[in-house]
Amino acid sequence: MMIKFVENVKADVTTDVVYMMCPMHLLKLDEMIREVEPGQVLELLTDYDGAMEDVPGWCEKHGHEFIGIEEEDDFYKFYIRKKGK
């Protein structure tokens, strides 16, 4: 899967797992995606490099749209749109 870099994506909900060890980024993502409505965008903040592969793969497996990544100095912002009903 090609990594897509984006800028200025508006998120409906943000969850911060910076400094948390693997697999917290996926556990928190799974938990938080249940909290948002279909079509809403979840922003996941993490500094874990493995998330570059894990998050797009998780989206593909679960049917959610991986919008892309915005790279900051110390962490990444991943944007995921929850699939419809």
pLDDT tens profile 55-80: 999 999 999 999 999 999 999 999 99
Three-state SS at 5? strand
Question: Do the Cβ atoms of 78 and 43 come closer than 8 Å?
Answer: yes
Question: Do the Cβ atoms of 55 and 48 come closer than 8 Å?
Answer: no
| Number of residues assigned to the chain | 85
**What is residue 85's predicted lDDT score, i.e. its pLDDT?**
66
User: Mind listing the domains of the chain with CATH numbers?
Assistant: 13-81 (3.30.110.40)
Helices (H), 1-85: 24-33, 51-62
Over residues 2-12, the mean pLDDT reads 86
Three-state SS at 83? coil
